[in-house]
Structure 1
Amino acid sequence: MRNTALSTMEQTADSGVDAVGGRRLTAGVLALLAGLAAIGTLSTTIILPSFSSIGASLGVNARDLGLTLSSFFMAFAVGQLVVGPLSDRFGRRLPVLGGLAVFLIGSAVCASADSMTVLILGRVVQALGVCAASVLSRAIARDLFDGEALARVLALTMVAMAAAPGFSPLLGGALDALFGWRAAFVLVGVMAALLAAFYALGTGETHPPDRRSAWTPSAVGSAYGRLLTDRRFILPALSVSLVIGGLYAFFGAAPAILMTALGFSPLQLGLFFAATVFVVFGAGLLAPRLAHRWTAPRVATAGILLCLAGGVILLGGGGTADLTLFTVAIAVFLFGMGLVNPLGTAIALHPFGRQAGLASALLGFLQMVCAAAGAALATALPQPPVGALAITMAGAAALSLLAFLGLRASPAR
C-alpha cells in the first residue's frame, strides 16, 4: 500500500488546495521566506575570500580561520534543536525577531573583533541567532501553505539558500577589496535588521495559540525521538540531508580542484560558484511544475537519480582534474539537488503541521550534520581531490536513493 504522506500530498496537489487559513502566495511572502532562509548560508561563506586579510589583521594563520566555520556550523546545528520546539510552544514571531536581534549582536562583535577568540565568539553568537531564521522559514511556510503551494514556496526558498553560498564569495571579495574584511559583517547585520523590520511590519503570527504544543524538556526529547523513528519523516529527511552533504562536499573540495589543480584565480573560483546558482535556480523553478504533472515523490526520485548520475560521471574520470568533465558532473548533481531538496523537504514536513517548528529544526540539524560530514569526507579521503569528491557525492546520492525508496515502499500509517 502506498505511503499515506505521499498519497496525501499527491491528492492535495490534484485538488488545487494551496493555502492554509486562506493565506495566498504573494511575492512579499516569498521574498520574506527566501531572505530568512538565505541569510544563514550567506553569513557562512561571505568571509571565505577574506581569510588572508583576517589572518593578517588578527595575527593568525589563515588556515586556522577554518574554526570560524566549524564553530558556526556546530552552534547553528544545536541551536536549531532548541528554536524549533520554542516556536511550536510560543509562536514564530518572537523567535524570529529575537534570533535576528541576537544575530545582529554577533555581527557587531565580529565586525569589531581584535582577536581570534573574539571573532569565534561572535561567530557562535551569529549562528545561535540566525539558526532561528533558517529553521522557521520552513516552519512558517508549512504554517501558511500545503500541497503544491508548499512545494512551490520551498522550491524558491531552497533556491535562495543555494544562491547565497554561490554568490557570497564574490560579494565578500568585493567588500574586502573596497572596505576591508569587517564590511562583510556590517552588511549581514544590516540585512538582518531589514529582514526583522520587514517581518515585523508585514507578517502576522502564523502559528496561532490553538495549534501550539505545550512542550516540556522531556516532551521535546520524546517528540524528537518519535520523529527519528517515524518513517514518514526520517526517510525523506535523510534523503534531503545526504544530498545536502554532497553539495557541501563540492563547496569544500572545489577550491583545491579548481585553484590548485586547474589554476583558477580567486575571481574565477567565485564566478564558477556563481554560475552553479543558475543550475539550482532552473531546477527549483521546474520542481513544482514537474511535481504538479508527475507527483512530488516521482520527481524527487528522479532528482536523486540525477545526483547519483553526477557522482558516477565524476567517478568515471578516474580522479583526473578535467574541467569539462568536472563541470558536467557538478551541473547534473546540482540540477538533481535542486529538484529533490524542496520536494523532499515538503514530503518530510507535510504530516507534521502541528509540529512544523520541531520537525523543521530536526531536519535542519540533520542537514548541518551531513553538510559537515560531506565537507570533511571530501577533504579527508586519501584519494586525489576529484576522486574524493566523486566518492562522497556518489555515496551520498546512493544512500539518499535507498532512504527515499524505503519511504515509497513503507506501509501506510
Structure 2
Amino acid sequence: MSTRSSSPVSHRGLILILAMLTAFAPFATDMYLPGFGQMALAFHTDNGRIESTLSAFFLGLALGQALYGPLIDRFGRRVPLLIGVGLFIATTIGCLLTRDISVFTALRVVQAIGGCAGMVIGRAIVSDLFDSSESARVLSLLLMLVTLAPIVAPLLGGWILIIAGWQAIFVFMLVFALICGVLVWFHVPETLPSSRRTPLRLSQVMRTYGELCRRPAFIVPTLVGGLAQACMFAFITGSPFVFMGLFDVGEQQYGWLFGLNALGVVACAQANRIGLRRWPVQKLLGAALCLNLVAGLALVASAQTSHLVVLMVPLWVAIASLGFIGGNAAAVAMDASGEHAGSGSALIGTLQFGCAFLVSSLVAAAQNGTAYPMALAIAAAGLLATVLWFATARIRR
C-alpha cells in the first residue's frame, strides 16, 4: 500500500493539519480533567490514582519524542507520522475498554507516545519548509491554533460528562484521531528528501543528541522553553483542586476558567506574530520571560487569598505570557539544530515534557490543601528559565 499523499495542500492548509495533530496532547490531557471524580468511581480507586494517569501521559510524551527524532531523520516525516496516529487510535480504544487502573495508566503512556508524533514531526516539517524568522511566525500561529484546544477541551469535556459520561470523552478523542489520520494520508507530503536522511544507528543517535546538548545556541533556548512551558503543566495539574476544591467552582465553570487562561495564550501568540515583524525573536523572548517571572512571583504572593479574582489575575498573566515564549524558544532552538532538525525537534519535546512530568508529579505529591504547590511551581519554573536565558547571553553569542 502506498504511503504517498495523493493531494498535498497549500502551506496554509498544511499548517492547519499540523495544528490539529499537535492538538492531540491538549485534548488527551485537558478534556478529561473535569471527569476525575467520575473516573475514580468507575475504576474503584481514589483521585490520586486518576491524577497519576496525567503524569503518566506526560512521561509518554517525553519518551515518545526522544524516539521519533532519529526515526524521522532516517525514514522521513510522513511514515512515522502515520504510525504515530495509528498508535494513538489503538490505545484510545484500549482506554475505552479497560477497567483496570494500572492497565489504563500504562495505556496512557503508550497513547502519549503515539500522540506526540504530530508535535515532533510538525516542528520538523515547519523547519523543512521555512527559514528561521518565518518558522517563528508559523510556530506562533501553530501555538495560537493549538491553544484553542485547551480552551474548548475542558468546556466540551464538562458537557460530555453531563450528557454521556467520561467514556464519551475518549470516544471524541478516537473520532478526532481518525479524522487526522485521513487528512495525513491524503494531504500531508513528505518534506525530507532522501538525500538529507541519515542512517539509523544507536551510536550515531547518541552522538547527535550529545552534539545538540553541547550547542549553547540550541540547548539554552530548549531548556528555557521547557522550563517556561512547565508553568502550563503546573497549572493543568493543580488547577482542578484549586478551582473546584478550594473555591467550589463547578465542572462547567472550571472549564470556562481554564479556557480563559488558555485564551490569554492565544492572544499573546497572535501578538507575538505581529511583534516579530518589528523586533528580533531573542528580544521578544527575553521580555516575555521577565513578564512571566513577575507574574509568577505575584501569584505566590496571592496564594492565600480567599478571592478567586485576586488569584486569577497573576495566574492569567503568567500563563498568557507563554504565547510569547513557546514558539520563540522553539524557533531559536530549531534554527541552531542545523542538519539535525528531526533530532532537534525530538529533544525539544523530550526536555519539555520531561519538565512537565517532573513538575506535574511534584505538584501532585506536594498537595497540602492550598494553592501554594501550583503557585510555587509556576514561579520556580519561570525564575529558572529567566535566569538561564540572561545568564548565558554571552555564551550563546
Asked if Structure 1 and Structure 2 have the same fold, meaning a TM-score greater than 0.5 normalized by the shorter chain, the answer is yes
Asked whether 1:354 is paired with 2:339, we answer yes
Matched to 2:213, the amino acid is L
Q: Is the 8 A contact 1:99 1:131 kept in 2?
A: yes
Matching residue within 171, 178, 181 for 1:196: 181
* Counterpart selection for 2:159 from 153, 174, 186: 174
Structure 1 residue 171, shift from structure 2 partner: 1.5
Task: State the 1:287 CA deviation.
Answer: 0.8
2:371 corresponds to 1:377:
no
What is the aligned partner in structure 1 of residue 245 from structure 2? 260
**Structure 1's 82 and 382: CA in aligned 2 closer, same or farther, altered over 3 A?**
closer
Deviations 1:122-154 (A, max 9, x none): 323312211212211111111111122211111
Quick one: structure 1 residues 260 and 59, their matched pair in 2 at CA, closer, same or farther if it must change by over 3 Å? closer
Q: Which residue of 2 aligns with 1:293?
A: 278
Residue 22 of structure 2 aligns to which amino acid in structure 1?
A
CA RMSD across the alignment = 2.1
2:213 counterpart residue number: 228
Give the equivalent residue in structure 1 for 2:350.
Answer: 365
1:195 offset after TM fit, Å? 1.0
Alignment of 1:305-344 (within 5 A): 305-317=290-302, 319-344=304-329
Q: What is the rounded CA distance, in whole Å, between the counterparts of 2:37 and 2:259 in structure 1? A: 21
Identity of aligned residues (%): 31
Structure 1: where are the runs of 5+ without partners? 1-22
* TM, length-normalised to structure 1: 0.89
Flag the 1:288–1:91 CA change in 2: closer, same or farther, 3 A. same
Q: For 1:159 and 1:189, how far apart are their aligned partners in 2? A: 23
Using structure 2 for the length normalisation, give the TM-score: 0.92
Question: Does residue 124 in structure 1 map to residue 92 in structure 2?
Answer: no
- Where 2:26 maps in the other structure, the secondary structure is helix
Q: How many residues align?
A: 390
CA distance 1:125–1:373, shift in 2 (3 Å): closer
Q: Is 1:163 equivalent to 2:117 in the alignment?
A: no
Contact map agreement 2:76 2:197 (CA 8 A) in 1: yes
What is the rounded CA distance, in whole Å, between the counterparts of 2:160 and 2:396 in structure 1?
53
Deviation at 1:96, TM superposition (A): 0.3
Equivalences for 1:58-97 in 2 at 5 Å? 58-97=43-82
C-alpha offsets along residues 331-372 of structure 1, whole Å, 9 cap, x if unaligned? 221232110110111001012242111111111111111112
Pairing partner for 2:203 from 218, 224, 234: 218
Question: Per the alignment, in what secondary structure is the counterpart of residue 350 of structure 1?
Answer: helix
112-121 or 204-213, which deviates more: 112-121
- Cα distance in 1, alignment partners of residues 333 and 277 from structure 2: 18
Q: Displacement, 1:240?
A: 0.6
Q: Which amino acid aligns with 1:305?
A: C
Spell out, residue by residue over 1:218-265, the C-alpha distance to the aligned partner (whole angstroms, 9 max, x if none).
Answer: 111111111112101110011111111111112222222222222211
Check the 8 A contact 2:34/2:240 in 1, yes or no: no
Question: What SS does structure 2 have at the residue aligned with 1:397?
Answer: helix
SS in 2 for 1:409: helix
Runs of 4+ in 1 over 6 A off after TM superposition: none
| Bigger mean CA deviation after superposition, 305-314 or 124-133 | 124-133
Gaps of 5+ in 2: 1-7
Aligned residues of 2:95 and 2:108 also touching (Cα < 8 A): yes
- Structure 1 position 142 matched with structure 2 position 142: no
CA distance in 1, matches of 2:350, 2:177: 22
Residues 1:99 and 2:84 aligned together: yes
Residue 181 to residue 262, structure 1, CA distance change in 2 (3 Å):
closer
Deviates further, 240-249 or 394-403: 394-403
Shift of 1:380: 4.3
User: Is 1:278 aligned to residue 238 of structure 2?
Assistant: no
Shift in alpha-carbon separation, 1:387–1:44, aligned structure 2, 3 A:
closer
Partner of residue 386, structure 1 = 371
Q: Does 1:55 align with 2:35?
A: no
User: Does the residue aligned with 2:277 lie in a helix, a strand or coil?
Assistant: helix
Over 3 Å counting, the alpha-carbon distance change for 1:186 and 1:380 in structure 2 is: closer
Range moving further from structure 2, 338-347 or 374-383: 374-383
Distance 1:197 1:344 in 2: 31
1:146-192 CA distance string (max 9 Å, x none): 12221111112223443333431221222222223222222111111
What letter corresponds to residue 260 of structure 2 in structure 1? A
